[in-house]
Amino acid sequence: MDKASIRHRSLGCVLLVVLLGMQAASAQPPPAKEVMRQKLAHAQAVLGAVVTSDWTALGRESRALMALTKDPAWVALVTPDTRHRTDSFVLALQDLISSADRRNLDDAVMAEVSMNLQCVRCHQLMARQKRGQ
């Protein structure tokens, strides 16, 4: 391979790295609506995993929900009023992950109910705040 070919390939690689870096830098976190849609999809999958005792899916989906709680779009939604609900939601997810690891259906059921309860209560609170009550 001659020097010109090596330079062209090197330049191509550098250009590719720069373009990929620019794409990653311009990627915006999903808006709140998208994060909530993802949360709903994972929560539905958690319920399905509990009902079928699919421990692998339960662990995977619970961990995916846990990751969403760290998403900037999620974090932006947390207010002093909703902090308690978010913290309780995270604790329920920790219990779900532990239940999946231990293959404990009774604990998984209770953790799934707790997780959903926190979701509903938080959404009730946010709806009241939006209405100005």
Asked if residue 25 lies in contact with residue 70, where contact means CB atoms within 8 angstroms, the answer is no
Give dist(CA 90, CA 86) in Å, integer.
6
Does 13 share its domain with 74?
no
- The pLDDT value given to residue 32: 86
- The pLDDT value given to residue 39: 96
> Would you write out the chain's pLDDT as a tens digit for each of its 133 residues?
655 554 445 444 433 344 444 443 334 445 889 999 999 999 999 999 999 999 999 999 999 999 999 999 999 989 999 999 999 999 999 999 999 999 999 999 999 999 999 999 999 998 888 888 6
Does 20 share its domain with 7?
yes
DSSP 31: P
Give dist(CA 73, CA 117) in Å, integer.
21
- The pLDDT value given to residue 5: 53
- The pLDDT value given to residue 2: 55
Count how many domains the chain has.
2
Give dist(CA 47, CA 113) in Å, integer.
9
Does 87 share its domain with 64?
yes
Does 37 share its domain with 24?
no
- The pLDDT value given to residue 13: 40
Domain that holds residue 45: 32-131
77, exposed or middle or buried, with CB in 10 Å at 0-12, 13-18, 19+? middle
